[in-house]
Amino acid sequence: MLHLRTLTRAERQGLVTGLLFTSPWIIGFLAFRVYPFFASLYYSFTFFPILESPKWVGLDNFRGLLDDSRFLTSLYNTTYFAVGAVPLATITGILLAMLLNSKVRGLSIFRTIYFLPSITPVVATAIVWLWMFDPLNGVVNYMLEWVGIDGPGWMGSPQWSKPALILMSLWGVGGAVVIYLASLQDVPRELIEAAELDGASAVQRIWNITLPMISPVILFNVITGLIGAFQYFTEVHVMTGGTGSPADSTLMMSIYLWQTAFQFFKIGYASAQAWVLFLIVIVFTTVLFRISGRLVYYGGK
Amino acid sequence: MVGADRVRPYHWATDALPTATHPKESVLSAPTEFVAVPRPATQQPTTSGVGVTHAVASLIKYLLLVFFAGFFILPWVWMVSTSLKNPDELAVYPIIWIADPIRWDNYLSALRQADFLTYFFNTILVTFPSVLGAVLSNALVAYGFARVRWPGRDLLFSLVLATLILPGFVTFIPLYIIFRNLNWLNSYLPLIVPTWLASPFFVFLLRQFFMSLPEELADAARVDGASELRIFSQIILPLSRPALAVVALFQFIGSWNDYFGPLIYLNDKALYTISLGIANMRASYGFSNFAWIMAATCMSVLPIVVLFFFAQRTFIEGIALTGLKG
């Protein structure tokens, strides 16, 4: 591809300079991304107890996954969480950003209140919410009682543990709110005012102008949100001590993957799980890009 | 974005001299009172019916804003309130919001009993080198992609973008084995060294920024025979403080809050970082200790909150930036 002989002296000097400047990335890319990427693919076809060397077993790990009820449970739990959390965060994020964008007083105070939780250490968030969700002494059920609802067991109940996680994940929506707000502020005012003069209602203006104008940002947030949801780990690990309890109801794919690798020391089997998870993320992302081809408006850019 | 209705020709008698003191700012981005034009009267709500609708809409708007503000504030209140309670006030109905007496000494117990200070200093030991490494390495790499002209550059940059979406869990098992073979387990090297080798997200962010800087300065220096390293360190870096601050801030948050890395690489309790240490306290102490565990949690969050209030603008602009380029 590159023939050093055919390069001029200036080009050769540029090449050396460029490679030197980018060398930290090149080293990191080869050692910490390319090699681990293919190594993990290779491990996924091996039997590899952590203290021995890997032995080729073909598709055995992947076949094993299909018969592994805990893996299927983790697949279900992760999908449940993603399907619940991502749309909820998207709708709430856009709603809050629109509210903040409508010339409110105290904008910076509200923005601070909404944003701060999103940079709070996840471990702290998890511990505080675990205590908030306490069925007997927690503040969540205490407040539900005010409106006459006998609150569920939340993290102690197999039915309610995932809804609890979804509700908790909403607490971190502030980062998305700030991103949506910035994109809303970029929507040209004259477009909206022109529609207003033509008699378009508020709903029509939002549906036909605002949402299409910010649709690339929505797509970006949905995709990053989805990738994040499929890797959801820390909260569950802290709240359940890495078990995914009760009754495996919060056993996410990432938690099972961690258990397989670091509690059962089955590196090959864990790698196969990682690759299934990776393929799922790729499929979801591709599908989203396909669908969005029709829905997302990229303007003149 | 300046709307067409806001542009008004400059008038020598009524307007201040434009752009004289700020050559970089366009006339159009002058303060709003300078270009504001009274809105046409037809846009004001004239009938009382419209006025009432506006009032109701505005009321609903503020109710929603306050409701969500309550949702976001409640965990903070709950955390601080719990951290000051007596053990026998934890399980009382109705909830006691303000402990009596207020147990400030919970914070001392947390400091003493649970090696909190060790965890705190360990976290600093990981975070500061990581921030330094991230700023230096990403700036160098981004400059190489943004401003140095060399064959193969764009091809390599497309690889940077490709790794942007590569999820971490695909690579973490081989990474663990690499670090084990290097004998780096139970040290901070697996947490720090990768930050010195650039991250695709930061490279992307800084490259965008470098490309927006005027090229003339660097060209002039090049004509004078300055090396690229000199141009980078003496011209580009000083101009890039805002973008470098975003990188530093994000890396600080990332390292300070990291849980997964310390979880898999650190075994020795004396090496635990704050996130891992607090999670471990939660797991190993019972319910009656929850007050001082909450006090420890409060203290672990405090540096982030303080940092946020000192660097609020950098935060908000940095976050907004990440989304808009997507």
Domain range list for chain B: 1-44, 45-109, 114-284
Gap between the Cα atoms of A55 and B176, Å rounded:
19
pLDDT in the model for residue B36: 41
Residue B125 CB partners (closer than 8 Å, separation 6+): B188
CATH class given for the domain over A62-295: mainly alpha
Residue B250 CB partners (closer than 8 Å, separation 6+): B202, B318
The pair of three-digit structure tokens given for residue A103, joined into one six-digit string: 């010339």
Residue A56 pairs in a beta bridge with: A46
Q: Could you give the C-alpha distances from B150 to A10, A14, A27, A161, B147, in angstroms and in order? A: 9, 5, 18, 54, 9
Gap between the Cα atoms of A19 and A26, Å rounded:
8
Phi, then psi, of A47 in degrees rounded to 5 = -95, 120
Determine the number of helices (DSSP H) and then strands (DSSP E) in chain B: 16, 0
Q: Which long-range contacts (CB under 8 A, 24 or more apart) does B156-160 make?
A: B156/A22, B156/A26, B157/B207, B159/A29, B160/A25, B160/A29, B160/B200, B160/B203, B160/B204
Phi, then psi, of A266 in degrees rounded to 5 = -100, 90
Least confident of A151-160, B8-17, B123-132: B8-17
φ/ψ bin of B152: left (φ > 0), alpha (ψ from -120 to 50), beta (otherwise): left
**Cα(first)–Cα(last) distance of chain B, in Å?**
19
Q: Do A127 and B282 touch (CB under 8 A)?
A: yes
Neighbour count for residue B8 (Cβ, 10 Å): 12
CB contacts of A175 in chain B (<8 Å) are 319
Q: What's the pLDDT tens digit per position in B228-265?
A: 899 999 999 999 998 999 999 999 999 999 999 999 99
pLDDT level of residue B37 (50, 70, 90 thresholds): very low
Do residues A252 and A81 lie in contact, with contact meaning Cβ atoms separated by under 8 Å? Answer: yes
Gap between the Cα atoms of B221 and B231, Å rounded:
7
Q: What is the DSSP letter of A266?
A: B
Do residues B126 and B273 lie in contact, with contact meaning Cβ atoms separated by under 8 Å? Answer: yes
Q: Which helix (H) or strand (E) holds A23?
A: helix A9-29
CB contacts of A232 in chain B (<8 Å) are none
Gap between the Cα atoms of A151 and A142, Å rounded:
8
Q: Is the pLDDT of residue B30 over 60?
A: no
Work out the average pLDDT over A221-238: 94
Q: What's the pLDDT tens digit per position in B151-165?
A: 999 999 999 988 887
Gap between the Cα atoms of B194 and A28, Å rounded:
7
Q: Is the pLDDT of residue B6 over 80?
A: no
Residue B61 CB partners (closer than 8 Å, separation 6+): A99, A102, A104
For residue B234, the SS3 value is: helix
Q: Is the pLDDT of residue B28 over 80?
A: no
Q: Is A51 or A155 the better-scoring residue by pLDDT?
A: A155
Residue A296 CB partners (closer than 8 Å, separation 6+): A215, A216, A218, A219
Greatest alpha-carbon span in chain A: 81
pLDDT level of residue B75 (50, 70, 90 thresholds): very high
Q: Of B138, B297, B68, which Cα lies nearest the Cα of A121?
A: B297
CB contacts of B54 in chain A (<8 Å) are none
Residues above pLDDT 70, as percent of chain A: 97
pLDDT in the model for residue A126: 96
**Chain B residue at shortest CA distance from A278:** B170
Gap between the Cα atoms of B232 and A4, Å rounded:
26
Residue A224 CB partners (closer than 8 Å, separation 6+): B326
Q: Do A100 and B156 touch (CB under 8 A)?
A: no
Q: Do B150 and A221 touch (CB under 8 A)?
A: no
- Angle, CA of B241, B245 and B247, to the nearest 5°: 120
pLDDT level of residue A301 (50, 70, 90 thresholds): very low
> pTM, whole model, 2 decimals?
0.86
Gap between the Cα atoms of B259 and B278, Å rounded:
10
Q: Do A216 and B326 touch (CB under 8 A)?
A: yes
Q: Do A132 and B175 touch (CB under 8 A)?
A: no
- For chain B, say whether A188 makes contact (Cβ under 8 Å): yes
Domain B114-284 adopts which CATH fold? MetI-like fold (1.10.3720)
- For chain B, say whether A125 makes contact (Cβ under 8 Å): yes
Gap between the Cα atoms of A178 and A113, Å rounded:
11
- For chain B, say whether A103 makes contact (Cβ under 8 Å): no
Phi, then psi, of B15 in degrees rounded to 5 = -105, 150
Chain position carrying tokens 């690339």: A216
Q: Where are the domains of chain A?
A: 62-295
Neighbour count for residue B218 (Cβ, 10 Å): 18
pLDDT level of residue B49 (50, 70, 90 thresholds): low
Gap between the Cα atoms of B315 and B321, Å rounded:
10
Q: Do B78 and A19 touch (CB under 8 A)?
A: no
Q: Is the pLDDT of residue B15 over 70?
A: no
pLDDT in the model for residue B219: 86
Q: Is the pLDDT of residue B283 over 60?
A: yes
**Chain B residue at shortest CA distance from A254:** B169
Gap between the Cα atoms of A82 and A69, Å rounded:
20
Q: What's the pLDDT tens digit per position in A271-290?
A: 999 999 999 999 998 998 88
- For chain B, say whether A158 makes contact (Cβ under 8 Å): no
Q: Do B144 and A20 touch (CB under 8 A)?
A: yes
Do residues B35 and B8 lie in contact, with contact meaning Cβ atoms separated by under 8 Å? Answer: yes
Number of residues in chain B: 326
pLDDT in the model for residue B320: 75
pLDDT in the model for residue B190: 97
When mean pLDDT is compared over A131-135, B135-139, B157-161, B278-282, the highest value belongs to: B135-139
CA–CA min distance B150, chain A (Å): 5
Do residues A127 and B282 lie in contact, with contact meaning Cβ atoms separated by under 8 Å? Answer: yes
Neighbour count for residue A114 (Cβ, 10 Å): 29
Work out the average pLDDT over A66-92: 96
Residues above pLDDT 90, as percent of chain B: 52
Give ipTM to 2 decimals.
0.91
Peptide bond into B101 cis (omega under 30): yes
Q: Is B30 or B313 the better-scoring residue by pLDDT?
A: B313
Q: Do B95 and A281 touch (CB under 8 A)?
A: no
Gap between the Cα atoms of A128 and B164, Å rounded:
32
Q: Of A277, A43, A252, A65, which Cα lies nearest the Cα of B177?
A: A43
Gap between the Cα atoms of A140 and A165, Å rounded:
13
Residue B115 CB partners (closer than 8 Å, separation 6+): B269, B270, B272, B277
